[in-house]
Amino acid sequence: MKIGIASDHRGYNLKEFLKQNLLDYEIVDYGTDSEDSVDYPDYGFLLGEKVASGEVSFGIAICGSGIGISIACNKVKGIRCAKVSSVWDAQVTRCDNDANIVALSANTDSSEALEIVNTFLTTEASALERHRKRIEKIKKYEDEHYEC
């Protein structure tokens, strides 16, 4: 499975750690390439576009809080990005919400981040009607309100 990953400068070290430790996946790094200050929206938009286009199956987004980059990712049509803080969050956001990008705070402990990401990537989206109905409502809203 091909996974996209992107971060701002604050998330750079965690991004590099995850790239070195997610051995079961092909990782595509969309930047940034150093700890020099950059703007997280640039990387969130890029990652969102790559996931939405199908170039990669899922995405991992990292910034200082995880919130800013998740907001940027969610501006891309077809993206359901969730900022998560625990393994439980990762499991639920995949199962119930069919999220396609997981966002993390740069302050997340690296071993915990690895467990969170692995849980996110190995959890299947629910086939239960109540969950599918809600995702379809989100997709319909996007279709009605986004101009392409």
Question: CATH number of the domain that 70 lies in?
Answer: 3.40.1400.10
Q: What is the pLDDT of residue 147?
A: 67
pTM of the full structure? 0.94
Q: What is the pLDDT of residue 1?
A: 95
Give the structural domain span for 64.
Answer: 2-145
- Work out how many domains the chain is built from and give that number: 1
Rounded CA gap, 11 and 4, in Å? 14
Residues lower than pLDDT 70 in the chain:
147-148
N-to-C CA span, the chain: 28
Residues present in the chain in total: 148
Rounded CA gap, 38 and 66, in Å? 15
Q: Does residue 14 contact residue 104 with C-beta atoms inside 8 Å?
A: yes
